[in-house]
Amino acid sequence: MPTRRCGSSSLILPILGIGCWQFGGGEYWGPQSQGDVDAVVRHAIEHGCNFFDTAEAYNDGESERALGLALRAFPREQAIVCTKIRPSNVTPAEVVAHCDASLRRLQTDYIDLYMVHWPITAHSIRHFTTGATAVPDVADAFAALDGLRRSGKVRHLGVSNFGRRQLTEALATGVPLVVNELPFSLLARAIEPDILPFCRERGLGVLGYMALLQGVLSDRYPKLGDLPEFRRRTRHFAAGSTPKSRHGTPGAEAETQAALDAVRAIARREGMSTSTLALKWAFAGDGITSSLCGCRTVAALSENIRAALEPLDRDLVAELNRVTQPLLAALGPSFDYYENPAHDRTV
């Protein structure tokens, strides 16, 4: 498995990471057996794909718990474990308790990479809480997080979904950050013009998540309307396509379907599955350290691993950029795909 250094840090990651949101089951993804989790984790580690990304918010902690159970079969140093803390829980009074709870669920005494899940703003926090919650002070929050690093409970710190202003504010605290986790796929390229090059300039790695846009970039769903409702909440889809969306925009379904049809045609021409081609493109992103892709079975993971082993021809990268450019233009520069750009959580 090819690896890359995470920005200017000492952290080395495989170019394919395992997104663990499905682990533990739940309303969003449906049931997931522990046996399947164990098999996926075993196959991943045996093939050098040993980076696992979870969060305390995923399935109310059940993702962390399922990953921890699966990792018991291996020496701890064989896995690189990343988890994320809600922005509502980063006050000095809470951060240690929440980190300790993640450590217990993961059955480990340290976390390799600990990230703030969304920016520390009132708007972001509203999506994680039901009542009124004070916004933690950014400097105090990162000082508390750095205390975890200095204590040995956490080895590296990072952020997720931080735009330029928020990332600048976090870096100004002087706390060493190694990564920003951001959405990145053929159908979600909004990070390319600004935040991705900014992360490169500041020496941060980038974890690209939703590399297959939650199954859109596959051959499983012929039309966009075939996707489950939970996965039709982004601005790729009209607000009325599911009551679960909140962005309130007309969406970009025509451009999304056209881009998807073009990508699928190129995949057929090249003798690949759509998901293999999409993953290969994601790995080729300039400044992308690792692309995260969730998988529920060993068969799906095996296909993803094969995609990582041979790089995509640069001419194909350019062709895929061209056929998805109209969608990039239609969706605009906001990479908070779940929100109206007027209420973007990342700016």
Does 347 reside within a domain?
no
Within-domain flag for 205: yes
Share of the chain above pLDDT 90, in %: 91
Indicate if the pLDDT at residue 132 is higher than 70: no
Q: What is the pLDDT of residue 282?
A: 98
Residue 125: the pLDDT is 92
Residue 284, in any domain of the structure: yes
Q: How confident is the model at residue 134 (pLDDT cuts 50, 70, 90)?
A: confident
User: Taking residues 91-119, what's their average pLDDT?
Assistant: 97
In a domain, 228, yes or no: no
Residue 261 lies in a domain: no
pLDDT band per the 50, 70, 90 thresholds, residue 97 = very high
Q: What is the pLDDT of residues 257-314, one digit of tens each?
A: 999 999 999 999 999 999 999 999 999 999 999 999 999 999 999 999 999 999 999 9
**Interval 140-177: pLDDT, tens:** 999 999 999 999 999 999 999 999 999 999 999 999 99
Please tell me the predicted confidence (pLDDT) of residue 244: 85
pLDDT higher than threshold 70 for residue 46? yes
Q: Does 321 map to a domain?
A: no
**pLDDT of amino acid 230:** 87
pLDDT digits (tens, 9 = 90+) for 294-303: 999 999 999 9
By CB atoms closer than 10 A (0-12, 13-18, 19+), residue 321 is middle
Say if 238 falls within a structural domain: no
pLDDT higher than threshold 80 for residue 96: yes
- Confidence at residue 2, expressed as pLDDT on a 0 to 100 scale: 97
Domain that holds residue 176: 3-220+274-312
CATH of the domain at 48: 3.20.20.100
What value does the mean pLDDT take over residues 96-114?
A: 98
Residue 35 in tokens:
């046996």
- Segment 218-263, tens digit of pLDDT: 999 988 889 998 899 999 999 988 888 999 999 999 999 999 999 9
231 in a structural domain = no
Q: How many domains does the chain have?
A: 1
Q: Between 222 and 335, where is the model more confident?
A: 335
